[in-house]
A = this chain, B = another copy of it.
């Protein structure tokens, strides 16, 4: 089990993640990524794009601002409904999220509860302020959007977007034309979203400013079903762990045995599973899909599963992404709000496209990698990240700082640095260099020693097994790239 404090300390010390504006005492709900964290983030985004946009030539990325005009979020329903139930202590004035107070007392999910349910629960459980013991005011709705004035007059209002999804809906019409009216059509946005949380918690898990990668797929049920049925055919025997809404426990099942859910949904569910298990390399035992019961779902989400990870540091199973069949809700709302036709022609007249949404909380995904990858073992602390995601793929050092070894190691570094995330260092003992690199997830350490000067061979050490192989300098870039890409295993080279 990874301890949260231990992991957070490593993240701060080595350049991954820490609280924003730290020298000013920080601000709850805001985090910075240091030089290693930012690279891990970049790598994850690149892999996400490559994977999900690779599913279909007509899935594309767009880039959009964080600020939406008031009327956009009015039409989407966020102005009226995007709120949490807040209670204030009448004695000390502290504010709390009602559902969190209930959850802490009962251990049950209370996120679905409205003002009335929270109010009843507070009475029933006899809850009082955790800070001072005071009594609570009546629960009220607190809109979680950050509002701001656009322009100098104060007349125009806007919001920071609470999700990146709306940007895709706003652009459906223009992109439908630019992409020459092909459907299904996917629009992905990768960027910041903002929620003015009443009490941010669990580190990067619930922040006030966070990053999302969302893919909105526009399609017409009944018309594009065969496309997804054909795609699903190829992955239908994928085994996933699923907890259905009515079930007590998750169980492993082949996708094709889930009979009540359509192919367009199961296909994307399967691909999300592949991304988690193959690209992020998460242990299948530590991930599951959880179907949300109707009281937890937004009313427009006709089918909704979350992909959950069994976190060590933030209390067990928590969502890192979700798959939402939102029907034609979104485009309908914006057609009405904007008075612009968002339907498309079909053989049976114009229809408003439906949306299936793949929604990823990027920071949560990064935290899952760190939480599951960090191993503060007794003999060494090491970070197990996939070769394509780790911020440092290879480190190169001279055995000692003399006799031409530093110069030789520099030559090797220069070759590797062309195509890999490479690092070079010469200070400290070899043991300390291994320790420093193990801790940040360096997959391979290359050491230049006296034999190198004689026979042009070097050692490569594997972070996982800590074992070494000796290979020729000429082959080193090819061997390490092959290891990173998973073409050959370290064991393969050990034997040969």
Contact = CB atoms under 8 A, between A and B. Distances in A.
B171 A32 contact: yes
A93 interface: yes
A149 B95 CA distance: 15
Nearest to A26: B69
B63 A95 contact: no
A381 interface: no
A158 interface: yes
Interface stretch (A37-45, A104-112, A229-237): A37-45
Contacts of A41: 63
A33 interface: yes
Contacts of A86: 152
Contacts of A69: 21, 24, 27
Contacts of A342: 23
A62 to B, nearest CB: 5
A408 interface: no
Contacts of A66: 66, 192, 209
**Chain A: number of interface residues, binned into ranges:** 35 or more
A24 B71 contact: yes
A75 B23 CA distance: 12
Contact of A146 (B18, B33, B148): B148
A270 B480 CA distance: 35
A232 B28 CA distance: 44
Interface string A147-165: 1111111001010100000
A68 to B, nearest CB: 7
Interface string A466-492: 000000000000000000000000000
Contacts of A239: none
A430 interface: no
Given A63-B41, A95-B152, A153-B93, A21 B175 contact: no
A149 to B, nearest CB: 7
Contacts of A228: none
A174 interface: yes
A196 B149 contact: yes
Interface string A45-86: 000000000000100111111111101100100000000001
Given A337-B24, A338-B24, A174 B34 contact: yes
Nearest to A40: B63
A152 B170 CA distance: 29
A36 B297 CA distance: 35
A180 B432 CA distance: 13
Contacts of A208: 67, 150
Interface stretch (A7-15, A246-254, A445-453): A7-15
Given A69-B27, A158-B27, A170 B22 contact: yes
22 contacts: A12-B174, A13-B177, A23-B173, A23-B334, A23-B338, A24-B72, A24-B170, A27-B156, A32-B167, A36-B178, A42-B61, A66-B209, A67-B208, A86-B152, A95-B152, A95-B153, A146-B148, A146-B149, A147-B149, A148-B160, A150-B208, A151-B198
The 7 A-B pairs at the shortest CB distance, nearest first, are namely A15-B178, A35-B60, A33-B63, A23-B338, A38-B63, A65-B209, A23-B340
